[in-house]
Amino acid sequence: MIKRSFFGLPKPRLEYKALPDKLPEPEEISCSGNVTLLLSTFPEQTDRTLSVKEGDKIKTGQKLFFTNDDAYIISSITGTVSSISSFTGDFGASYTAVSINISDYEEVDEQFELYTKTPSLDTARDFLACVPGNLPINLLINPEKPIKTIVISGCDNDLMVYTNQYIIKSDIDSIKSGIGILKNITGADDIIIVLPLGFKHEFGDIGARVSTVDTAYPAASPHLIMQNILGRIVPAEKSFEDLGVCFMTAEAAASVGRAFTSGKIPVKKTITVINKDETVKLAVAEIGTPVRDILSTLGITLNEKDRVILGGPMTGTAVYSDEHPIMPDTSAIMIQDSGNIPHVSDYPCINCGDCIRICPARIPISMLVRLLEAGQYEEAADQYDLYSCIECGLCSLVCVSKIPIFQYIKLAKYELGRMSIAEAPDDYSGGDDE
Amino acid sequence: MTTAEAMMSNHNKFIVSHAPFWHDGSSITERSYHIMIAALPAVLFGIVQYGLPAIAVVAFSVSCAIFWELAMNFVTKRSLTIGDGNAALIGLLFAMLVPATLPWWAVLTGTFVAVIIGKQIFGGIGSNAFNPVVLAIAILMVSWKDLFDFDEALLNYDLEFTMLYPIAALKHFGPESIESFTAGDLLLGKQIGGIGATFGLGIILGGIYLIIRGFIRWEICLTFLLGVFAAAFIFNIYDGSRFAGPVFHILTGYTLIGAFFLATEDSSSPVNLIPMLVYGAGAGVLTVLIRNIGAHVDGVIYAILVMNLVNPLLDKIRPKAIGKVG
Ligand code: SF4
Ligand code: SF4
């Protein structure tokens, strides 16, 4: 945990660290019994049928989907469907959870391979939407917002997370072919790889510009990369794709490369595991592997009242159970000992200004938080720059009153988002871009 | 139980809360106690100088402030807040500003005004528009003017320096009357005044400590002192026979304690850069205006109150958030 330093005058600096030159060997996780795949769904839609049912045999790489929806998941293993149920995640996000019992032999679904000769955007859309690293395919295929610049991030946004740095160090070849393919199929002419400052590499020509970000958190956040490297500011109401820019992780780019060169859809996710004592290990596991399996392989034991977090310390999400599976965008698992869990308090803001000094987005947080506590979300957005927040979590980290400011901000954005959907019911067609 | 149920059920009783999962460990309690520690040199000096009565006032003031806070906690049925040290801090600062001979009822009343009216009525910590201590002193000054006649109050003391309250002397008898005060003497506390308000060096050291630790906003202290200096300097140049020099103004009355301990109160002062500069400088200049051409002996208290009042307006001047256009 980062403690307030004795000298409080200079702004606290949280540093991203570089991976050691001698790469740690990631631990291969063998999944013990079953994997669970989460298919994002809309609970309001009931007239749907899943392409598989309990008892069905599934091949590795097989697509599972609802009949009337574009969204799908790719099975990471070969096995038999053991259960299908619905699951509610953070902020009411709803999923259909498909559990698959692993069988002893592996059989690979061959559909994808038929399309790999000539890579195309359609193939990527149809098969690569949930590869490790979470390829933002919906942004790439939207004809209304053509992507001209792709930023491949080799630095993980959160602290203590090394997943993408590792991918760059260990598999630059896949990234290189991924870049070539992405250029080809999307027509984006400007590809930028972003690396942490001081990252040593000998890539040669990989078809992309290479840029570095500062080591002070949250320099690797897309908004700051946009500002510092591309020299452009995203207006608060706009998104990156409005400006023709698409961010993706190095792992996603590598997945694209691996998919088309091997003819198989990649299903193994690289994960940074942050232990209770804040030591860090890397692991590789199939998407859908329960957190429990990873922890037991690494010899990490969980006790009551510990905390299990998907993601890093600043922006991750705590989960209820170690049954929770690894998802395509799970960059890290963090375990926090019950003794190290900071308390929140019910104190009001005392206007100390520490949050304002540290906020990279220059948001008047001490005012904002008062409105958010009162539930006045619209005023918060209009007057106090709610939408400028780049979601770094620094404000909560330093808040003297221990107010969960960041949580308030996310909740407010979520509630406002729901309100705007409710106001425009026609737009609510089921998530994916047509 | 399906996997999804297992994922949602809390059977392992893991702690679920929200990012970030780290906190830097800062707290209101830490802040209050460090401000009190920083005030200690000045307070101890006052106690050495004025003896038992000073101890009595300090102890009684701190106890009363805590008592009022506790009483308010019970009345409003809120959780106890005395542990955050803020009430104790209010009591301590109040005692630092008053003469060692302040009668007990004035301490009781003053801390009541500070804690109940100045802080709790506004909604408790963080919601007070005025610095509670400053508000309390102002109300006492208006209601019982003689309480703050330091020459009168400390009549029975005979210490080894001129027993005159320097800025009162200046007000009533002009700059010649204060020629005996050298800057060094003032800095070393060879002047009469509030229990913890006269030992300039101690206050400055405490203030620097707070600045380095980041417990107060240096922008406010510095501009306050600059404001006093600049305004006093201009008056002095204009007519040196009527107006004292800037150093005198900085080292007397409540200037130093005001700059480091009063104007910097979190809730009633701005947090954005430009507002902080305007707020500090404004309070400094007002202080000298009140001293030199106003009716009051010292201007710090009213100057800070006025700036507290405009603080919400000032703090509207703020940098544009990222991504905000127009
Ligand atoms: S999370 Fe907090 S510190 Fe970070 S940008 Fe948002 S408001 Fe600012
Ligand atoms: S850090 Fe917390 S208490 Fe301090 S100004 Fe920000 S919200 Fe208020």
Q: Does residue B267 contact residue B86 with C-beta atoms inside 8 Å?
A: no
Any CB–CB contact under 8 A between B9 and chain A? Answer: yes
Question: What was the pLDDT predicted at A49?
Answer: 82
Q: Which of A394, A355, A239, A216 is nearest to B323 (CA)?
A: A239
Pair (A102, A227) in one structural domain: no
Instruction: Say if residue B11's pLDDT is above 70.
Output: no
Pair (A140, A201) in one structural domain: yes
* Residue A348, in any domain of the structure: no
Long-range contacts of B181-186 (CB under 8 A, 24+ apart): B181/B248, B181/B252, B183/B247, B183/B248, B183/B251, B185/B161, B186/B248, B186/B251, B186/B252
The pLDDT tens digits for A315-350 are 999 988 888 999 999 999 999 998 888 877 889 999
Q: Residues A29-47, buried b or exposed e (16+ Cβ, 10 A)?
A: bebeebbbbbbbbeeeeee
Pair (A415, A306) in one structural domain: no
The pLDDT tens digits for B19-62 are 899 998 899 999 999 999 999 999 999 999 999 999 999 999 99
| Average predicted confidence (pLDDT) for chain A | 88
Query: How many Å lie between the centroid of ligand 2 and the Cα of residue A396?
Result: 8
Question: What was the pLDDT predicted at B97?
Answer: 97
The pLDDT tens digits for A369-387 are 999 999 999 999 988 999 9
Residues of A in contact with B271 (CB under 8 A): 351-353, 356, 366
Residues of A in contact with B7 (CB under 8 A): 36, 87, 97, 319-321, 323-325
Question: What was the pLDDT predicted at A432?
Answer: 40
Cβ distance A348 to B84 less than 8 Å, yes or no, reads no
Domain termination site, one of A211, A239, A262: A262
The pLDDT tens digits for B177-225 are 888 889 999 999 999 999 999 999 999 999 999 999 999 999 999 999 9
Question: What was the pLDDT predicted at B1?
Answer: 55
State pTM to two decimals: 0.90
Q: Are strands A209-213 and A190-196 parallel, antiparallel or unpaired?
A: parallel
Residues 6 or more apart whose CB falls under 8 angstroms from that of B258 comprise B224, B283, B287, B300, B301, B303, B304
Cβ distance B5 to A85 less than 8 Å, yes or no, reads yes
* Residue A23, in any domain of the structure: no
- Coil, strand or helix at B53: helix
* Domain interval for residue A117: 113-262
Pair (A196, A248) in one structural domain: yes
Sheet with A79-88, edge to edge strand ranges? A34-41, A94-102, A79-88, A57-58
Which residue shows structure tokens 């139980």?
A: B1
**Residue A321 belongs to domain with CATH number:** 3.10.20.90
Residue ranges lining ligand 1, Cβ < 6 Å: A 359-361, 363, 365, 389-395, 405-406, 409
How close is the nearest chain A Cα to the Cα of B217, in Å? Answer: 8
CATH number, domain B28-314: 1.10.3430
Pair (A41, A171) in one structural domain: no
Instruction: Say if residue A431's pLDDT is above 50.
Output: no
Task: Give the count of domains, chain A.
Answer: 4
Q: Which of A406, A407, A413 to mutate to test the pocket of ligand 1 (most atoms within 8 A of CB)?
A: A406
Name the maximum alpha-carbon separation found in chain B: 91
Domain termination site, one of A286, A315, A340: A340
Pair (A325, A274) in one structural domain: yes
The pLDDT tens digits for B256-302 are 999 999 999 999 999 999 999 999 999 999 999 999 998 889 999 99
Cβ distance A390 to B28 less than 8 Å, yes or no, reads no
Q: How many CB pairs under 8 A join A and B?
A: 224
Question: What was the pLDDT predicted at A43?
Answer: 66
Cβ distance B18 to A360 less than 8 Å, yes or no, reads no
Query: Cis omega before residue B53 (within 30°)?
Result: no
Q: Does residue A155 contact residue A195 with C-beta atoms inside 8 Å?
A: yes
Question: What was the pLDDT predicted at A434?
Answer: 32
Pair (A101, A83) in one structural domain: yes
Question: What was the pLDDT predicted at A424?
Answer: 62
Looking at residue B323, the DSSP 8-state letter turns out to be T
Pair (A248, A272) in one structural domain: no
Q: Which residue type, as a one-letter code, is found at position A200?
A: K
* Residue A349, in any domain of the structure: no
How close is the nearest chain B Cα to the Cα of A98, in Å? Answer: 9
Could you tell me the pLDDT band of residue A433, with boundaries at 50, 70 and 90? Answer: very low
Q: Domain limits of chain B? A: 28-314
| Arithmetic mean of pLDDT, B87-99 | 97
Q: What separation in angstroms does the CA of A211 have from each of A77, A192, B215?
A: 37, 7, 38
**Residue A178 belongs to domain with CATH number:** 3.40.50.11540
- Coil, strand or helix at B198: coil
Q: ipTM value of the model?
A: 0.90
Distance CA A318, CA B212 (A): 36
The pLDDT tens digits for A263-284 are 999 999 999 999 999 889 999 9
Residues of B in contact with A240 (CB under 8 A): none
* Residue A3, in any domain of the structure: no
Question: What was the pLDDT predicted at A46?
Answer: 67
Pair (A138, A255) in one structural domain: yes
The pLDDT tens digits for B134-170 are 999 999 999 998 999 999 899 888 888 888 899 999 9
Distance CA A23, CA A272 (A): 13
How close is the nearest chain B Cα to the Cα of A120, in Å? Answer: 35
Any CB–CB contact under 8 A between A304 and chain B? Answer: yes
Give CA A395 to chain center in angstroms: 21
Pick the residue whose CA is nearest to atom 8 on ligand 1.
A359
DSSP sequence for B208-228: HHHHHHTSS-HHHHHHHHHHH
Pair (A120, A256) in one structural domain: yes
Any CB–CB contact under 8 A between B326 and chain A? Answer: no
Q: Is A212 exposed, middle or buried (0-12, 13-18, 19+ CB in 10 A)?
A: middle
How close is the nearest chain B Cα to the Cα of A385, in Å? Answer: 7
* Residue A11, in any domain of the structure: no
* Residue A85, in any domain of the structure: yes
Chain B window 12-51: which residues touch A at a Cβ cutoff of 8 Å? 12-28, 31
Question: What was the pLDDT predicted at A86?
Answer: 85
Pair (A307, A367) in one structural domain: no
Any CB–CB contact under 8 A between A317 and chain B? Answer: yes
Q: What separation in angstroms does the CA of A199 have from each of A171, A192, A252?
A: 15, 15, 20
Pair (A223, A274) in one structural domain: no
